[in-house]
Every structure is written in C-alpha cells, then in structure tokens.
Amino acid sequence: MSVEFRLPDPGGGSDSPAESRPAFFRWLARFENGLLVTLLAGMLLIPVLQILRRWGLPVGLQASESFLSHFNLLVGVFGGLIAARENRLLSLSTLPGLLRKPWQRHAAVAYGNAVAAAVAVVLCAASVQLVLAERQSARELAYGLPIWVAQAALPLGFGCLALRLLWHAGPAWFWRLAALAVAASIVGIGLKPPIAPSSLVIPALVGLLIGAAAGTPIFAILGGAAVILFWGREDPLASIPLDHYEQVVNPLLPMVPLFTLTGYYLAESGASKRLVRVFMAVFGAFRGGPAIVTALVCAFFTTFTGGSGVTILALGGLLYPVLTAARYSERNALGLLTGAGSLGILLPPCLPLILYAIVADIPIPQMFLGGVLPGLLLVGLTAVWGIRAGPKLSTSERTLHWPEIRSSIWQAKWELLLPVVAFSGLFFLLPAEAAAVTALYALTIETVVHRELKITSDVPRVMTECGLLVGGVLLILGVAMGFTNFLITAQVPDKGVEWVRGAIQNPLVFLLALNVFLILVGCLMDIFSAIIVVVPLIVPIGLAFGIDPVHLGIIFLANLELGYLTPPVGMNLFLSSYRFGKPMPEVTRATLPMLGVLAVGVLLITYVPILTTWLPRFAK
C-alpha cells in the first residue's frame, strides 16, 4: 500500500515520469536516492552501535551524537532536493489548480517558483558566507573531519533547489525563462535597491504573499520573510543559514526521520490489514464496531507516520469499504475517515509532540505523557460518534468469535508490540536511540518475520519516500527558525504579552481566544512551520497567565488538529476530496459532524487541565 502524497501537478506537465527523463537525469536521480538511503541507514545504525558500545562491544563511532545530528542535516538537504526534483515541496496554496485557463495556471506557477528560486539563491549566498566563516574556526566533528564540510551541504542544497524550482516553473522553456527573469530581477533589486531597503520591506512582503497564493513552497515563504526582514534592517543574512544549521543538528531532532521511517515501514507492508483484522475481530460484534476500528487504526498509524495526510491516503482505500459494507452511509463513512485521519497527533511518539517539546524547551517524556489522555479522549469521542451513527446489529451479528480473535491477535502480535518497544526505549534509552531501535524493530518485522518488504527493492523505495517527506519538513524547520529569531530579536513575544495582558485579564477568556486563533493557524499553516513560528510567540503569553507549559502545548496541537478539518481550507478536506474523488462541498458537509465532535474534545482539553497535567507529574 503506497503512502505517497502527490496531488495533481498544476504546472501542466513539467513533472515528467522518471522513465521519460534523459539518461543523465535518471542516473542523477538514482544517485540521489541511493545517497539518501545510505544516510538514513547510517542514522538507523549509529545509535544501535552506540548502545552496543555501552554494553562493552568494540563498535561505534567517536562523537556518535554529533555524527548522527549532521547525518540529519544531510538527510534534510538531500531529501529536500528529491522533493524539489519530484515537484513535491510542501506549499499552502491550491490556487494554480483552480485556474481554468492554461496560461493562467502556467503564469501562477512560474511566478510562485520564481519567488522561491530567488529566495533559494539568496539563502545559497548566505550559506556560503556561513561556510567561509566556519572554515576560520577549524572546529571538527571527529577523526579530523571539519564541521564546514558538512555545512557545505547547505549552499549546495539551496543552489540546486533554485535550479529545480526554475525547471518546474512551467512545461515549456518560455515559462522557465520567464521565471528566471523574474527571479533575477528580484535578486538584482536586493543587491542594488533603488531606495533604502527599509522602504521596500512592505512591497517585498506583499510580493512574497502573492507568491504564496501562486504556490510558492512553504520553505520559501518563511525563508523569504526572514530574508526580507533582515535585509530591511541591513543585518547580515548569514544568521539565517546559521539558525537553520543549529536547528537541524539539534541532538533530539533525529527522532523525526527515525520514527517517521517506522511509520512508513508499517504503511508499506500488510500491517494495516492485520491491525484492521484484529480490531474488527474484537470490536466488530458491537454496534459501531467498524467506526471504533477506524478510529483506532487511524490513530495508530498517525502516531508513527506523524502526518494525518499520510493516514488518509494510506488507509482510506482499506477502511472506506469496511465502513460501507457495515451499512454506514457514504456520507458518514467519508466524514469519519476525514476526521479520524489526524487522531494520533497527540499520542506518543508522534512527531509534532517531539517538535513542540524541542521548540518550547519541555522534556519530551512530559510532553508524551501529557498527550496520552487528551489523545485517547479524542479517539473515544470519535468512536462514540461512530457508534451512534452506526446501524443496529441483529442478534447473530453481535456474536464474538473467539477463534478469530485469537488468530488475528497472534498474526499481528509483532505490530501490537510496537508501542511497547517505543515506550520502553524512550524510558530506558536516549531519545534518538529509542527511535532507532523502534525503526529497526519495524524493519525486522516487515522484512524478516512477515517478508512483505524486500531488502533490495522495497526497503530503498520506502526509505526514499520517507526521506523525501522528512527533507521537506526539515527544510521548513530550518528556514523558519531564521524568521522566528527575527521576531524574538524584534521583541515581538514581549510586546505580545504586554498587549494581551492589557486586552484580556481572565485566563479562561484568553484560552478561548487562543483556541480561535490556533484553529485559524491550523487552517492556514502546516503543523511543522506553525510550531516553529507560533510557539515562541504564545509560550511567554501562556506563562504570563499561569498556564502549564505542557497543557499549553497539548492545547496548541489539539487546535491545529481541529484546523485540519475546518472549512474552507482545512488540509484534510483537500486530501480526502483527492483520495475519494468527491467534490469539496460534499466532503465538507460530511465532515461537519466530526468537526463538532472534535471541537467538544478540544474544549474539554482546554478547560479541564487535569487531563493533560496528571500523567506528566510522574515524569518529574
């Protein structure tokens, strides 16, 4: 089962299939894929070897943590390049696909890519400055290897990104050359502004927003905002790639690709069918059993893949027939699957929990424990709604078949143990080591035990797909940090605290206003960039109102989860429309009941803090 997230190309065919490319490009694609697979394999093995080294075996690397962090940097660079090669960089706008006339679509895509290419060129030049400065410091990773060698991947990556963005600016050379001209004009104005840069900040930001509407990738929107704001103050731009570097080599961040790899191994094998069989055997004899199965399986997969979109695309084709066969109406089945796609975001070890903990400087075990009860609450509310929407069962249908229960559990026993492996590792190993052990466990299950993934063909393909997604995310996280640091140096959080305290005195009113704001953020931004940009702004305000940091984090993620379903621009609505071939209005109407159910859950999470704060007390 494929988990590939690929919407139709609005550019009109610039994204040609791999087999139709010239021989050189096919060779280059194979080389990049192989390099990415090698890097991810290294990230998988380095922590495992370090564990064995602690046990007394003569294996492992010196400065293994530093090597692992810099492997993460390289995975981000080359994964982002492959995402650009396949024209799959994450963006916010679907406007080009809505334009009716081909020339309008091509013009929008050309402008959006031109803006992104200009930003990539500027970041490339700034990264060169960073590397040159690092060469003077003579710092080393280990074994005499200087740090600047790893950092050199940044200018290489941004430079190649610019070229690939220009290539995908249109299906013909006319549009590519037009995008090149626009990008060159933008860079030229930046190098020799006709008036003071401070006077051009607002027009430049407006041009960037137009690019965002035209489909400019998220990394270029956030990186471009940072470039414009620093340029307007005539500050050195090298601080942006420096922030990028320091963010991506955070020693906790390797958990992101490793846990994501775990989810991809599961989604690409027959694990989903085995888990559905288990939950159907256990809950199928109850009214609403298929809805309970849908909630549990979607939560399980989102927990490990980290993205609701992956869950909808991967499991929709499997669960939709299950629901309709159980006499659920098409509308209820569609609404349930769309709403359940994001259920696992609050359950450990989901990636947003990890990223929030890193950005907000909260211990990861506390954040994990804080999400357990709220996450189960949302799963439970979804199941209750599914039970009420389900048909009544006859006496024969309400019979539990114990042989089927035993057989299904036995067949899926290794997958059912996966959360135990992950949790045990998180409490007895270092975070990256726990993630690596979990990924290795999943790999072993699907290649050796079930033999559903072939080592030589399937595993490299799955790792490439995982690296593509992770590369796009790390690219966003890195450049977003530059924008966030500008906001901090401009004292925006402090001013925000002062303004909110002056306008709102009651913490309950503040929480309600925060919910509304975060739902809008969830509609307009992807969850990863929202964490980097918004969290540093709201954490000081939450502390000023005496809100527990873990509670604030769970409120944040729960509202963004709700934002995925909020019409007219919730991301899960678009993905569900694409996956099931249904018009957006039909998907929206079908999802409204689930939106209401999850909104009740978010309000309970917000105003009953004991749900979040009780379990983390045991981790202190």
Residues 155-194 pLDDT 10s: 999 999 999 999 999 888 999 999 999 999 999 998 898 8
**What is the CA 155 to chain-centroid distance, rounded?**
24
pLDDT, tens digit, for every residue of 405-425? 899 999 999 999 988 898 888
Q: What is the DSSP string of 59-119?
A: ---TTHHHHHHHHHHHHHHHHHHHHHHTT---BS--HHHH--SHHHHHHHHHHHHHHHHHH
User: How far apart, in whole angstroms, are the C-alpha atoms of residue 215 and residue 221?
Assistant: 10
Note if the bond before 349 is cis, omega within 30 degrees.
yes
Distance CA 595, CA 604 (A): 14
Ranges 203-217, 244-258, 306-320, 437-451: which has the least confidence: 306-320
Written as one string, the DSSP assignment of 541-571 is HHHHTT--HHHHHHHHHHHHHHHTT-TTT-H
| Per-residue confidence band for 105, with pLDDT thresholds at 50, 70 and 90 | confident
CA angle 28/34/39 to nearest 5° reads 125
**Is the per-residue pLDDT at 113 higher than 90?**
yes
Which of 422, 420, 414 has its CA nearest to residue 446? 414
Mean pLDDT for all residues in the chain: 85
Name the token pair of 103: 């020339």
- pLDDT-above-70 percentage for the chain: 93
pLDDT digit string, tens, across residues 547-583: 999 999 999 999 888 887 877 667 777 777 777 777 8
Max mean pLDDT range (56-65, 122-131, 280-289): 122-131
Residue 152 reports pLDDT greater than 90? yes
Closest by CA position to 550, among listed 301, 372, 420: 372
Whole-number pLDDT of residue 549: 92
- Is residue 93 scored above 60 in pLDDT? yes
pTM reported for the whole predicted model: 0.84
pLDDT at 8 over 70: no
Check if the beta carbon of residue 453 is closer than 8 Å to that of residue 27.
no
Mean pLDDT, rounded, for 342-370: 88
Residue 4 in this model has a pLDDT that exceeds 50: no
Better pLDDT: 163 or 324: 163
Which phi and psi angles does 390 have, rounded to 5°?
A: -80, 155
The per-residue pLDDT for 358 is 87
Q: Is the pLDDT of residue 15 over 70?
A: no
For range 195-207, the mean pLDDT = 91
Q: Is the pLDDT of residue 396 over 60?
A: no
pLDDT in the model for residue 620 = 61
**Interval 367-378 mean pLDDT:** 93
Contact by Cβ (8 Å): 230, 483: no
Whether residue 116 has pLDDT greater than 80: yes
Model confidence pLDDT, tens digit, residues 484-518: 888 888 888 778 888 887 888 888 888 888 888 88
For residue 189, give the nearest of 138, 242, 232 by alpha carbon.
232
Please say if the pLDDT value at position 463 is more than 60. Answer: yes
Confidence tier at 84 by pLDDT (50, 70, 90):
very high
pLDDT digits over 203-243, tens only? 999 999 999 888 899 899 999 999 999 999 888 888 899 98
pLDDT tens digit sequence for 513-555: 888 888 888 777 777 778 888 888 888 888 888 899 999 999 9
Confidence of residue 126 (pLDDT cuts 50, 70, 90): very high
Least confident of 26-40, 123-137, 275-289, 399-413: 275-289
> CA torsion, points 48, 54, 60, 63, in degrees to nearest 10?
100
